[in-house]
Amino acid sequence: MSEPVVHASALTKKYGDFTAVDAIDFEVAPGESFGLLGPNGAGKSTTMRMVGAVSARTGGELRVLGMDPDTHGPQIRAQLGVVPPEDTLDAELKVRDHLIVYGRYFGIPRSVCARRAEELLEFAQLTERAKAKVDDLSGGMKRRLTIARALINDPRVLMLDEPTTGLDPQARHILWDRLFRLKEKGTTLIVTTHYMDEAEQLCDRLVVVDHGRIMAEGSPAELIRTYSSREVVELRFGSDRNAAVAERLDGVGDRIEVLPDRILVYTANGEEVLEHLSRENLHPTTSLVRRSSLEDVFLRLTGRSLIE
Amino acid sequence: MSPRVSEDERGPEVSRTPSSAEAPSSADLVPRRRGLSALLPARVRALYAGNAHMLVVRGVLGARTNNWIVVLSGFFEPVFFLLAMGLGLGTFIGDVELANGQQVPYAAFIAPALLAVSAMNGAVYDSTWNVFFKMHFGKLYDAVLNTSMGPLDVALGEISYALLRGLVYATGFLTVMQVLGLNQSWTAILSLPAVVLIAFGFASIGMAVTSYMKTFQQMDWINFVMLPMFLFSATFFPLDVYPEVIQRLIQALPLWHAVELVRGLTLGQFGPQLLIHVGYFVGMIAIGIVFTTRRLRALFLD
């Protein structure tokens, strides 16, 4: 196998007494689409900043494209495209100018930047807004511009930190489509998200992170297979009755999770659970059979839900 | 009014400029270190890509897109002071006698001081409030630092932009002085490089100070220091009105050196004493740059 794009071992970041990233190990292979899944504050963004050579690590080892971020920050960043969690667009400039200026921060000649800017405006469906001020764009457009901007240096690795947070469903799907095209072209993607559907859409392989540690690693399907059952039955009996009913469900399905508002029954066959309930004369106010998701994996691993 | 920097004339910063139509791979696009920066120690090189001037280009472009009228307003401030104090108040005051016995009109006395003050104000504003805002609210530097640019590029780029702006204002103000007949010597033209030197000194210290600022309340302290310095640094009246002790105190402040340097040049009191003022600012720049560079890693690469 060729040299990994990112190699991290015992990678650690501390802020005073607080350990944001706690000795994590991972590798990202060229062309791979790698995800960090976890709740807010899990250390995902801190990890991204260390890999992006904008935050010095406290301990452990880190190689990005074969180089040490501590000593080769400018050279590493030259080959990365970064989409930060919040838009950091230059509000004082016009859309096209911003793309060109950003490219020139990399030391790329103006003529090359100008040509790429046109291509990227097309890619981000912003050609008609090229002369608009950045500040006047909608949220979805700004996000697309941020992604276009991250591609101006034709990066080997595209790093996306919460790429679709705060976007409406349509804007998210447009973005996913664009990212999918990049992935097909062979760009390495590193994505953080707290949306399980996003992780399932975009990532070949992911790590589940919580409290600065890696809880599990694998493809979305593998993780679901390993840490959850095929199906989940969601039952609501009303918040005051859930706990009492849960006791009577002992032995039903593989595993039961009682949440404040609902009971989750993990099982290979959801219909069988529902039949069992009606035989026992238990009538939930609502019931739903669905396939297991990464949300369930996360719940299983940490005892908490992903979006609180 | 805003200076135009041709972006095409900036030299190629790329190791191999592609001649073919084929897009260069990103590996080709690692910026080549400019001659001098290759000599820097590794610790500094990790903070510097030799591409600082792009922030100047960005600043000019931003000013052109948006707020060139705001930028222009910086030119009028000292002109208004000169008209009100120099020409208005000056008719009641008459001439001022300098240390060497030379008599000059009041307006000619305060005009060089106002030139020095505007250099200070511009440089301090750009290196403190402007940097503070871009750092904490505009998030400009977060974006810039995701490119190959390093913190030292940011510092040098922002300081250079402040100096460029200061130079444009100074040229305008010096022209006004010339038209009003307030320049008493050909050496007045040398006040342009002097103003750049002064602005550089204030900007490099200003940036170092800003690196410690976390809130707007702390930023207000800057004004608290600047205003008395503006009023009492022999700006509007000669230093000898003060008691001896206060004179020494004022002579320790940077603005006094700035005022004396520019005044010496516009009034034609050219002499070795000016070198002391120049030396003061060279020292100030050196301290400011060392300080700022040390703080940058803590600030941007936490």
Distance from CA of B31 to the nearest CA of A (A): 5
Taking CA atoms, what residue in B is nearest to A46? B302
At residue A170, the pLDDT reads 85
- Residues sharing a CB contact under 8 Å with residue B154, sequence separation 6 or more, in sequence order: B52, B55, B141, B144, B145, B296, B300
- Each residue's pLDDT tens digit, B65-86: 876 777 777 788 889 999 998 8
For B96, counting Cβ atoms within 10 Å of its Cβ (0-12 exposed, 13-18 middle, 19+ buried), the class is middle
Among B19, B148, B297, the strongest candidate for a mutation testing the A interface, having the largest count of A CBs within 10 A, is B148
Domain A6-216 carries which CATH code? 3.40.50.300
**Per the CB < 8 Å rule, is A101 touching B49?**
no
The secondary element (H helix, E strand) that includes residue A222 is helix A220-227
Query: Model confidence at B10, in pLDDT bands (50, 70, 90)?
Result: very low
At residue A3, the pLDDT reads 86
Q: Which chain B residues are Cβ-neighbours of A92 within 8 angstroms?
A: 62, 65-67
Average pLDDT of chain B? 82
Taking CA atoms, what residue in B is nearest to A74? B148
Distance from CA of A101 to the nearest CA of B (A): 7
At residue B229, the pLDDT reads 92
| CATH 3.30.70 matches A229-291 | yes
- Each residue's pLDDT tens digit, A44-67: 999 999 999 999 999 999 999 999
Rounded CA-CA distance B204/B285 in Å is: 6
Query: Model confidence at B35, in pLDDT bands (50, 70, 90)?
Result: low
Query: Model confidence at B41, in pLDDT bands (50, 70, 90)?
Result: confident
Rounded CA-CA distance B287/B203 in Å is: 12
The secondary element (H helix, E strand) that includes residue A173 is helix A169-184
At residue B291, the pLDDT reads 86
Q: Which chain B residues are Cβ-neighbours of A5 within 8 angstroms?
A: none
Query: Model confidence at B127, in pLDDT bands (50, 70, 90)?
Result: confident
pLDDT for B301 beyond 80: no
- Of B73, B75, B72, B78, the C-alpha closest to B107 is B78
Taking CA atoms, what residue in A is nearest to B54? A105
Distance from CA of A22 to the nearest CA of B (A): 17
Task: Specify which residues A213 forms β-bridges with.
Answer: A210
Rounded CA-CA distance B146/B159 in Å is: 20
At residue B15, the pLDDT reads 37
Structure tokens of B191? 């006040």
**Per the CB < 8 Å rule, is A74 touching B139?**
no
Among A75, A106, A134, the strongest candidate for a mutation testing the B interface, having the largest count of B CBs within 10 A, is A106
Greater confidence (B263 vs B210) lies with B263
- Each residue's pLDDT tens digit, B220-261: 888 888 999 999 999 998 988 899 999 999 999 999 999 999
Rounded CA-CA distance A201/A198 in Å is: 5
At residue A103, the pLDDT reads 96
At residue B36, the pLDDT reads 56
Distance of CA A273 to the CA centre of its chain: 33
Domain with CATH 3.30.70 in chain A: 229-291
Domain with CATH 3.40.50.300 in chain A: 6-216
- Each residue's pLDDT tens digit, B155-213: 889 889 889 888 988 999 999 999 999 999 999 999 999 999 999 999 999 988 888 88
Query: Model confidence at B39, in pLDDT bands (50, 70, 90)?
Result: low
CA atoms within 13 A on the CB side of B264: 18
Q: Using CB atoms, pick whichever of A70, A73, A155 lies closest to residue B26.
A: A155
Among B61, B130, B146, the strongest candidate for a mutation testing the A interface, having the largest count of A CBs within 10 A, is B146
Distance of CA A105 to the CA centre of its chain: 27
Query: Model confidence at B93, in pLDDT bands (50, 70, 90)?
Result: confident
Contact A181, A189 (CB under 8 A): no
Give the A:B interface size as CB pairs under 8 Å. 127
- Each residue's pLDDT tens digit, B209-229: 888 888 888 888 888 889 999
Query: Model confidence at B150, in pLDDT bands (50, 70, 90)?
Result: confident
Q: Taking residues B73-102, what's their average pLDDT?
A: 87
How many of the other CB atoms lie within 10 Å of CB of A101? 25
DSSP secondary structure letters along A95-117: HHHHHHHHHHHTT--HHHHHHHH
Instruction: Identify the segments of chain A with pLDDT beneath 50.
Output: 308
Rounded CA-CA distance A117/A96 in Å is: 7
